[in-house]
Amino acid sequence: MGGTDRTEPELARSQRVLRALLVAALLALGLYILSGFLRALVWAVVLAIALWPLFVRAHRRFPPGRHNILWPAVFTGLVALVLLLPIAVLAVEAGREAHDLLAYAREAERNGIPVPDFVARLPYGAAAVTDWWNAHLAHAGLAHELSERLNTTSNRDLTRSLGAGLVHRAVLFGFCLLALFFLFREGDTVIAQSLRASHRLFGPRGERVARQMVASVHGTVDGLVLVGIGEGFLLGIVYAFAGVPHPVLFGALTAVAAMIPFGAPLAFGLAAVLLLAGGAVVPAAIVVAAGFVVTFVADHFVRPALIGGTTRLPFLWVLLGILGGVETFGLLGLFVGPAVMAALILLWREFTEGSGEPA
């Protein structure tokens, strides 16, 4: 009996170690199995967190039936519509322009592409650009030469790989929507289980970190997405008055670009270049000036208040989180980066300020 009593603590310790190893192995295996879908799953989590307050408000105002399908389906459908609508608009615009593009291609095949008028107005290098254009683009048979250059084995392989990539992204998009639907439907259960697990694993500090990351996602959505849409709307109005071709599409492009730090100047800069190509110097200057004013106000006043004010996160760390997140995770890093920075800053403040666990 004495020998058995002495081995019981060792047996319990070895069981805990083996249990921890089993959990780690199963977790690693599960992550490996889901590795191709992790980004789509994280996107679904980010979208669910961002839209959860609206979902809860609608859920409480109009309670669903027993199966709780209506509101999850409505919100998932709205997300799909918002994401697919710009692609549909671009496809419609491309269809409208297809006839003119074909006519332009036939004319280029017969006579080449003439030197545009704006080349003669260039302040520097007009003669060199004209000579290069005449030598390479202004002769007949240009389209046939381009088709022969493009019709190679490497380009055909590239086309097939692009097609496979589009199919793969479509599958991931469908999986993201499916995961989003179930997150909406089982959201209360998922939240309760997550809080209970974080409390058991990390104590009250784990729950505070989780809530800080959620607040960071909300602040980032407000500061990046909503402010970006506002920038695109305001500059879209400027584009329309300045005579930029397709001002609605350029406004949408500006809104998407404005969600990424320093991305908006690329959009309104391209619009200004198109105006300059048509000889509209004053409207181009107006577009550039309005673009810098709008982005300056948004980046230096509105975004820091929305993102940093939600989580008490200095805007420098918000910017570093966004840029580092984009470089590491792509567009997903727009939301993951600030959330991680917010959690780290919270832990640092608790450590440096000496705030222990609450009694």
Q: What is the pLDDT of residues 66-77, one digit of tens each?
A: 777 888 999 999
Q: Give the end of a domain, one of 145, 162, 185.
A: 185
Q: Give the end of a domain, one of 166, 185, 204.
A: 185
Q: Which domain holds residue 308?
A: 187-354
Instruction: Tell whether 44 and 153 lie within a shared domain.
Output: yes
Residue 128 within any structural domain of the chain: yes
pLDDT at residue number 156: 59
- Which of 44-53, 107-116, 306-315, 333-342 has the highest mean predicted lDDT (pLDDT)? 44-53
Residue 119 within any structural domain of the chain: yes
pLDDT tens digits, one per residue of 98-136? 566 666 566 665 666 666 666 666 666 667 777 776 666
Instruction: Tell whether 138 and 246 lie within a shared domain.
Output: no
What is the per-residue burial (b if ≥16 Cβ within 10 Å, else e) of 223-243? bbbebbbebbebbbebbeebe
pLDDT at residue number 112: 62
Instruction: Tell whether 232 and 157 lie within a shared domain.
Output: no
Residue 20 within any structural domain of the chain: no
Instruction: Tell whether 282 and 317 lie within a shared domain.
Output: yes
Structure-token pair, residue 80: 């799909």
Residue 4 within any structural domain of the chain: no
Instruction: Tell whether 290 and 248 lie within a shared domain.
Output: yes
Instruction: Tell whether 205 and 131 lie within a shared domain.
Output: no
Instruction: Tell whether 70 and 115 lie within a shared domain.
Output: yes
The alpha-helical segments, DSSP class H, found in the chain are 2-33, 38-61, 70-111, 117-120, 126-136, 142-150, 153-185, 187-202, 204-220, 227-242, 247-258, 264-277, 281-297, 303, 309-311, 315-329, 333-353
Residue 58 within any structural domain of the chain: yes
Residue 116 within any structural domain of the chain: yes
Residue 19 within any structural domain of the chain: no
Between CA 215 and CA 307 the distance in angstroms is 9
pLDDT of residue 41 exceeding 80, the answer is yes
| pLDDT band with cut points at 50, 70 and 90 for residue 338 | confident
Instruction: Tell whether 117 and 266 lie within a shared domain.
Output: no
Instruction: Tell whether 263 and 114 lie within a shared domain.
Output: no
Domain count, the chain: 2
Instruction: Tell whether 198 and 138 lie within a shared domain.
Output: no
pLDDT of residue 355 exceeding 60, the answer is no
pLDDT at residue number 358: 46
pLDDT at residue number 25: 92
| 190 or 64, which is more confident | 190
pLDDT at residue number 333: 83
What is the per-residue burial (b if ≥16 Cβ within 10 Å, else e) of 267-301? bbebbbebbbebebeebbebbbebbeebbeebbee
Structure-token pair, residue 228: 């970006």
pTM, full prediction? 0.72
pLDDT at residue number 237: 92
pLDDT at residue number 98: 59
Q: Give the end of a domain, one of 121, 152, 185.
A: 185
pLDDT of residue 150 exceeding 60, the answer is no
| Section 46-61 average pLDDT | 89
| 5 or 262, which is more confident | 262
Instruction: Tell whether 227 and 296 lie within a shared domain.
Output: yes
pLDDT at residue number 359: 39
Instruction: Tell whether 104 and 128 lie within a shared domain.
Output: yes
